[in-house]
Each structure stands twice: as C-alpha cells, then as structure tokens.
Amino acid sequence: MSYEQKLMAMKKMLTKKPKPTKKTKRDPVIPPAPPYEKNWLKTGLIKEENQFGVVYKRIVEYDETYYHGNKKIGDLQSTLEKWKRFDREHPLAPKGTNKLVFFDTETTGLKGAGTLIFLLGFMEQVENGFRMTQYVLPGPDHEAAFLYASKLWKEEMTLITYNGKSFDLPQVETRWTMNRQKLPKLLTHHQIDLLHGARRVWKAELDTFKLTSIEEKQLHFYREGDIPGHLAPIIYQDAVKSGQAETLMKVLKHNEWDILSLVTLYIRATNLILETTIPETAITHTNIGKWFADLKHYDDSAYFFKEVIEKYGSDHAMSHYHYGFILKRNEAYDKAVQSFNIAAKQLGGRERIIALEEVAKLQEHKLKNLAAALEVTRNAMSFIDKDSELTKRFRTRAERDFLKREMRLIRKIFPGEAQKTTKAD
C-alpha cells in the first residue's frame, strides 16, 4: 500500500466531532405557594405573584391629618418645600426629582451571608395622603420574588432610613447578590440616614440614639404593646414553621411604627435645621451651627452661634469655641480672641488647649502682641502638663508645637538674649 493510500485510509477512520449544541435558557422554576398560605391571608395579607414566585404584602393608607406622636405626617409637604428653598447641599436634603421613600427592614439576624431579610417596608406620599407597603417573605424559595416586588431595580429613589447606610442597604445588596442570576440589576439609590442626622443634632444631649428613645424625647410617641426588636426573627421563623401569622402581624406593626417615626423625625430635624426661629436648647443649636460649619455654610453656622451667645452670654462656652473660628475666618480677630478666651476659661481637654493655641496664633500673627502670645503659650503649656483628659498622642503633639512657639516668641521679643543663649550652648 502506497503512502498516499495509507493516509486516505487513516482519514476515513477519523470521525468529525459533532458541534456542541447551544444550551437553551430554561425558564425559571417557580416555587409553589407555601402550604400555610390560607392562614397567612386570613390575617389581612395580600398575595402578589411575579415571574419568580409569591410574596405577601400589607398596605396601609394614611390621611394627611394623621398624627404620629405630636407631629402630623402631612407636614412633610412643607418640609420638602423648605429643602427646595435651601439652595445649599446638606446630608438631609432630598435629591432632585427622585421619589422620596421611607424605608426599613426586618431581618433574621444582624450580619452574615445566611441572614435573610423577611420584611421590607416602604412609605411614600400619594395623592391626599400616604401609603405604606410591607412585603413579607413566604420562605427562602421565594426570596427572588420578594426582592423583585420591592421595585428597587426599577427607578432611582431617595431612601430615608435609620442606620440604613450601615445596615439595611448593605443587607439588601448582599441578598440581591445572592439572587443576581435571576434579578435585574439593583440600582444605586440616594440615601438619607437619620441616625447620622440625629447624632449631629442631639450630640451630648441624648444618652442613647435608639429610635425608640428618639421617639419619646423628640417626637413624644410612646409605643404600647410593641414587641422587642430582637424577638422579630424568632416570631417570623415560628410563623413559617407553624403556619400561623397572627403574632407575625405584631412584627409588621413594629415595622410600621419605625417607618412612621422616620417621617416625623425627618420633619422634626428639618424644622430645627432650617427654621431658625424654633426655640431649642443651647446644645442643640450649637450642634446645628457646628454641622453647618463642617459643611462650609459659614453664614448659617454663624447665625446659630450668635443666637446662643445672645441668649446665654458666656455661659455656653462651646458656642464661643466654634464661633471663634467663624470670626477668625471673617478677619474679626479681636472678637475671635474674646470668644476663644471665654471658651478656654470654661472648657477642658483638647478644646481648651486648641482655644489657647488659636489665641496665641492670633496674638502673634494678626494682632502682633507678642507678649500676650507668649503669656498664652506658657499658660497652655501648664495645662498640658496637668490635664488628664488629654490623650497621649494629642499631649505629645501639643507639647512639641507650644515649645516651638515659645522659643520663636522669645527670639522675636528678646533677639539679643536668644543669640547669647545660642552661643552659650
């Protein structure tokens, strides 16, 4: 057999491999409704179905005149109008034309990939009132349907939460990631976290920033018959196992109160920040002024500090402390020195040292009173040695800086003495 014949024989032995067939995309398998569906629907829950399964929901309508604590939820409209007139940026300001939604969740735990969200609560303004919609997870098999029903994939919103930036939204993102092959992409929503706002407004005035404490002290709302939040996961799991949802409805009520408090807390915080005529404590107004200063809204900041100073004089040193920086920025150096001196006499810790440092800077560089600057510098150095409130890091930095300042001032005041000291060394 020739060489060519052998090649032809071998060629016949080779068989072509069939081309791989394209995998057809299977339709998602829709899990069946849970066997306890009838019992859950008897409690007033409504069934909603989508391409991923089943979810149950509860809808509550509120009139504009509805009161939660001592606040009428219909006042939200005037709150939003105030933010429209406020032409500066602020963490509590809504974003553009985004729909404003108050949002809260209930979960089976605090963290971890195994933690499920079992309740999503939303509240928004509608014509002549408000509508709250709560979605309840029937079970893990219906999680994709549950998340899809939230419409967090459909349009960008401004979500108002309480600790939502650290908890609620990260939990939603985690659960969405676990279902990413089924669900459309989760949109990025503008967030307003009222926990951060509450801490800025009532710092050093409230002992705790739990929402229930804020409700009582700022909204005058007192819960009656509420369940402790830590029991919510247990109640939900029992409702799934037993099929009885009567107790679960108390969890929905707990969530409803949470969301209503978000509405009235947003109204309350906005009024304090934007309505300067509302009477409030010196601490609260000082906190708001400090917040405006941190946002570089110096005129707004100065207004709150001046209000406190006019009412309390030198009795509220922290207002003078912060107002001193505004005066310094406005080149009112003599007045700034006065404010910092008042603060230094009454405050302790780092604020006292910083106030004295500011006085020393102003006396040396702006008012050209070197003797006064040296006196303040040495006064501050004596406090640094005695003050137990100072951290080691701050103390070390302050000692170094004030020692340099002292040596520089001595050279400026006594140039000849400084040269003699240098030669002697």
pLDDT, tens digit, 9 for 90 and up, residues 92-125: 999 988 999 999 999 998 776 689 999 999 999 9
Q: Which residues contact 219 (CB under 8 A, 6 or more apart)?
A: 68, 69, 70, 71, 261, 264, 265, 268
Q: Which residues contact 406 (CB under 8 A, 6 or more apart)?
A: 374, 377, 378, 381
Closest listed residue to residue 117, CA positions, set 167, 183, 54 = 167
Quickly tell me which residue has 């829709």 as its tokens.
30
Q: Which residues contact 143 (CB under 8 A, 6 or more apart)?
A: 116, 137, 175, 178, 179
d(CA 339, CA 308): 13
Which of left, alpha, beta for 53 (phi over 0: left; psi -120 to 50: alpha)? left
| Cα 164 to Cα 69, 102, 170, 195, distances in angstroms | 23, 10, 8, 8
Answer yes or no: are the C-beta atoms of 284 and 291 closer than 8 Å: no
| Cα 160 to Cα 4, 128, 204, 209, distances in angstroms | 81, 21, 24, 17
H-only helix segments in 347-391: 349-361, 370-386
Tokens of 261: 């408090």
Tokens of 413: 């005041």
How many CB atoms are closer than 10 A to CB 98? 14
Answer yes or no: are the C-beta atoms of 249 and 43 closer than 8 Å: yes
d(CA 414, CA 417): 5
pTM of the model: 0.88
**Residue 192 burial by Cβ neighbours in a 10 Å radius (0-12, 13-18, 19+):** buried
d(CA 141, CA 30): 9
d(CA 217, CA 256): 19
d(CA 61, CA 407): 72
Closest listed residue to residue 230, CA positions, set 194, 196, 254 = 254
Per-residue pLDDT of the chain (425 residues; tens, 9 = 90+): 566 666 666 666 665 555 655 555 556 678 999 999 999 999 999 999 999 999 999 999 999 999 999 999 999 999 999 999 998 999 999 998 899 999 999 999 877 668 999 999 999 999 989 999 999 999 999 999 999 999 999 999 999 999 999 999 999 999 999 999 999 999 999 999 999 999 999 999 999 999 999 999 999 999 999 999 999 999 999 999 999 999 999 999 999 999 999 999 999 999 999 987 777 899 999 999 999 999 999 999 999 999 999 999 999 999 999 999 999 999 999 999 999 999 999 999 999 999 999 999 999 999 999 999 999 999 999 999 899 999 999 999 999 999 999 999 999 999 876 555 544 44
Compute CA 237 distance to the chain's CA centroid, rounded to the nearest angstrom: 30
d(CA 77, CA 64): 10
d(CA 83, CA 94): 7
How many CB atoms are closer than 10 A to CB 341? 17
Strand partners, 180: none
* Domains by residue range for the chain, with CATH: 36-274 (3.30.420.10), 296-413 (1.25.40.10)
- List pLDDT tens digits, range 340-380: 999 999 999 999 999 999 999 999 999 999 999 999 999 99
Q: Which value, in Å, is the radius of gyration of the alpha carbons in the chain? A: 32
d(CA 137, CA 140): 7
71-72 and 99-107 beta bridge pairing:
unpaired
Strand partners, 131: 61, 124
**Residue 353 burial by Cβ neighbours in a 10 Å radius (0-12, 13-18, 19+):** buried
Which of left, alpha, beta for 204 (phi over 0: left; psi -120 to 50: alpha)? left
Which of left, alpha, beta for 293 (phi over 0: left; psi -120 to 50: alpha)? alpha
Tokens of 131: 């509508």
Q: DSSP letter for 139, please.
A: -
Sign of the torsion formed by the C-alpha atoms of 245, 250, 254 and 257 = positive
